[in-house]
Amino acid sequence: MSRSHLVSISLAIVLALSGCGKSEKKAADLDAAMGPAAKADVADATPPQKVKSLGDSVPTDVPLGLPPLPVPNGPPPTDKLVHLGRRLFYEGNIAADGITSCGSCHTYDHAFAETRQVALGFSSTRGDRNTPSLLNVAYWTSLNWDGSVQTPDPGLGLLEAQVRFPLEDPAQMATKVDSVEKSLNISDQYHMLMTKTYGKNVPVKYALATRAIAAFERTLLSGNSPFDRYFFGHDENAISSAAIRGWEIFKDPKKGNCIACHAVGEKFGLFTDNEFHNTGVGLDSTGEGHDLGRFRVTNRPADKGAFRTPSLRNVALTPPYMHNGSLRSLRGVVDFYSEGGGQNPYLDPQIKKLNLSEKDRDDLVSFLNTLTGPMPVNTGHPTPQEEAADAVEDDATEKPATPEAATPASGTTAPSAPVEKPSPFTKKDQKKDAKKDDKAEKKQP
Q: Encode pLDDT of 272-312 as tens digits.
A: 999 999 999 999 999 999 999 999 999 999 999 999 999 99
* Percent of all residues in the chain with a pLDDT value above 70, rounded to a whole number: 78
List alpha helices for 258-411, DSSP H.
Answer: 295-298, 330-338, 358-369, 384-398
Q: Give the pLDDT confidence score for residue 397 in this predicted structure.
A: 62
List alpha helices for 218-329, DSSP H.
Answer: 226-231, 241-251, 295-298
Angle in degrees, 0-180, between the axes of helices 177-186 and 188-198, rounded to the nearest 10: 100
Q: Give the pLDDT confidence score for residue 408 in this predicted structure.
A: 45
Q: What is the DSSP string of 147-197?
A: --B-SPPTTS-HHHHHHHHHHH-TTTT---HHHHHHHHHH-HHHHHHHHHH
**Dihedral sign, CA of 270, 276, 280, 282?**
positive
Give the helix/strand (H/E) hosting 16: helix 3-20
pLDDT in tens, 396-430: 666 554 544 444 444 444 444 434 334 434 444 44
Residue 241 to residue 323: CA distance in whole angstroms:
31
Amino acid sitting at position 63: P
pLDDT in tens, 151-165: 888 778 899 999 998
Contact between 304 and 293 (Cβ < 8 Å)? yes
DSSP letter at 340?
T
Nearest to 218 by CA among 66, 70, 64: 70
Residue 78 to residue 74: CA distance in whole angstroms:
12
Contact between 200 and 30 (Cβ < 8 Å)? yes
What top-level class would CATH report for the domain 226-369? mainly alpha
Least-confidence region, from 21-25, 105-109, 122-126: 21-25
Checking if the pLDDT of 124 tops 90, the result is no
Q: What value does the mean pLDDT take over residues 4-14?
A: 43
User: How large is the greatest C-alpha to C-alpha distance in the chain, in angstroms?
Assistant: 90
Count Cβ atoms within 10 A of the Cβ of residue 89 and give its class: 0-12 exposed, 13-18 middle, 19 or more buried: buried
Q: Give the pLDDT confidence score for residue 404 in this predicted structure.
A: 47
Instruction: Bin 54: left if φ > 0, else alpha if -120 < ψ < 50, else beta.
Output: beta
Q: What value does the mean pLDDT take over residues 370-387?
A: 94
3-state secondary structure of 427: helix
Q: What value does the mean pLDDT take over residues 41-46?
A: 54
Q: What value does the mean pLDDT take over residues 201-205?
A: 88
Report the first-to-last Cα separation within the chain, whole angstroms. 15
Q: Rounding to the nearest 10 degrees, give the CA dihedral for residues 375, 378, 379, 380.
A: 90
Q: Give the pLDDT confidence score for residue 394 in this predicted structure.
A: 66
What homologous superfamily is domain 50-68+78-221 in, according to CATH? Cytochrome c-like domain (1.10.760.10)
Return the bridge partners of 386, or none.
none
Contact between 278 and 347 (Cβ < 8 Å)? yes
Q: What is the DSSP string of 34-76?
A: H-GGGG----TTS-GGGPPPPSPBPP----TT-PPPPPPSSSP
pLDDT in tens, 228-254: 999 999 999 999 999 999 999 999 999
Contacts of 211 (CB under 8 A, 6+ apart): 48, 49, 74, 81, 85, 156, 160
Q: Give the pLDDT confidence score for residue 422 in this predicted structure.
A: 40
Which carries the bigger pLDDT value, residue 1 or residue 176? 176
Exposed e or buried b per residue across 327-353, where buried means at least 16 C-beta atoms within 10 angstroms of its C-beta: beebeebbebbbeebbebebbbeebee
Q: Give the pLDDT confidence score for residue 395 in this predicted structure.
A: 66
φ, ψ at 347 (rounded to 5°): -55, 135
Residue 82 to residue 91: CA distance in whole angstroms:
14
> 33 falls in which pLDDT band (50, 70, 90)?
very low
Checking if the pLDDT of 13 tops 80, the result is no
pLDDT in tens, 315-373: 999 999 999 999 999 999 999 999 999 999 999 999 999 999 999 999 999 999 999 99
DSSP letter at 106?
S
Q: Give the pLDDT confidence score for residue 71 in this predicted structure.
A: 85
Q: What value does the mean pLDDT take over residues 85-98?
A: 93
Q: Give the pLDDT confidence score for residue 31 in this predicted structure.
A: 40
Q: Give the pLDDT confidence score for residue 152 in this predicted structure.
A: 85
Q: What value does the mean pLDDT take over residues 130-145?
A: 96
**Which part of the chain is CATH 1.10.760.10?**
50-68+78-221, 226-369
Amino acid sitting at position 26: K
Contact between 218 and 77 (Cβ < 8 Å)? yes
